[in-house]
Amino acid sequence: MSGQAVASRPIARHGTVGFGGNTMRFDTRYAALTLALLLTEIAIALFVRDAIVRPYVGDALAVVLVYAGLRTITRLDVLPAVLLALATAIVIEFGQYFHLLDHIGLAGNRWARIILGSGFDRRDFVAYAAGALIVLLAERYRRASRAAAGTRTVRSPNDSSSTI
């Protein structure tokens, strides 16, 4: 640095950070959702031992969690963020198929096994698709509710969820 002071700006609900203000943002609504989903996922991983909630509901919620995290910090529109969240889940599932944790020396790490999973199951792909569908339906409902309330949705290439 050349000794110049760098002014800091507070990040508002839809504040932008990053170079040029185009790459990243911080959305407190999605941040709250991300935190709630993360705590739910941790509770499921640590305390639920069943044949439905832990393996399938947890996997569906994982896609929603990644989506919410992406929408918290990026300007990705709904569909690209859903597809990226779904792709993340699929890549992690294939990591389980190829025993990635064994290869990188984390097979004995409890948290790595909780976060990345430890066993491949092709039925998980259905749960991931269900999570993506939940996101798409929830976002459609949210936009319809805004329209019914008279809030106009601005569709821009960077962030179609902005309202005025």
The model's pLDDT over 99-156, given as tens digits with 9 standing for 90+, comes to 999 999 999 998 898 888 889 999 999 999 999 999 999 999 999 998 898 866 555 5
Nearest-angstrom CA–CA distance, 80 and 139 = 13
pLDDT reported for residue 115: 83
Both tokens of residue 85?
A: 């969240």
Both tokens of residue 74?
A: 């990026």
| 112 vs 162 pLDDT, higher one | 112
pLDDT reported for residue 124: 96
Percent of the chain with pLDDT over 90: 65
Question: Which one-letter amino acid corresponds to residue 75?
Answer: R
pLDDT reported for residue 3: 46
pLDDT in tens, 70-91: 999 999 999 999 999 999 999 9
Q: Does position 162 have pLDDT exceeding 80, yes or no?
A: no
Percent of the chain with pLDDT over 70: 78
Q: Between the CA of residue 13 and those of 30, 34, 48, what are the distances in Å?
A: 10, 15, 34
pLDDT reported for residue 45: 86
Mean pLDDT of 53-73: 96
Q: Does position 4 have pLDDT exceeding 50, yes or no?
A: no
CA atoms 91, 96, 101, 107: torsion sign = positive
Q: pLDDT averaged over the chain?
A: 84
pLDDT reported for residue 49: 94
- 23 alpha carbon, distance to own chain's centre: 17
Q: For the chain, what is the HEC assignment?
A: CCCCCCCCCCCCCEEEECHHHCCEEEEHHHHHHHHHHHHHHHHHHHHCCCCCHHHHHHHHHHHHHHHHHHHHHECCCHHHHHHHHHHHHHHHHHHHHCCHHHHCCCCCCHHHHHHHCCCCCCCHHHHHHHHHHHHHHHHHHHHHHHHHCCCCECCCCCCCCCEC
